Amino acid sequence: MPRGSDVFLQNISKIVVFIILAFALYLFFTGHGSPGGGFIAGLMSAGALLLLALAYDIETVRKVIPIDFKIVTAVGLLIALCGGTGSLLFGEPFLKHAFGYFQLPLLGETELHTALIFDLGVYLAVVGVTMTILLTIGEDN
């Protein structure tokens, strides 16, 4: 049962977390042609999860999102490494990326980059490391 002063924070956080995650998604996809990308989107997503942890508690967040963030970090690093080395298979330098325009449902003509794979790895690594640090600091022992 929420305590008296937490009711407001809990109700507002449900809306604010959605807005923060939507903006993080926007920054993730616009990071190739303007400022943004996986790093800042990862920090914003971790901030949204931290807001949930502050509004409720860490155990509630762990029950709702039963993810080991250390594994998320490892998967992110693996994806970033694969995204960077993929160009070596085609005789190109490390981290060289390619792009093209594709017709996607609901989005129309969209420019997609292979750098998006690298950014996805960075995003997961940043969320994993940040949440591991924050949840470890915030645990009651």
Residue 1 is predicted with a pLDDT of 45
pLDDT at 99: 75
Provide the pLDDT confidence category of residue 33 given band limits of 50, 70 and 90: low
C-alpha distances (whole Å) from 55 to each of 5, 11, 61, 81 are 10, 9, 10, 35
Question: pLDDT tens digits, residue range 84-96?
Answer: 888 888 788 888 8
pTM: 0.84
At 35, the pLDDT band (50, 70, 90 cuts) reads: low
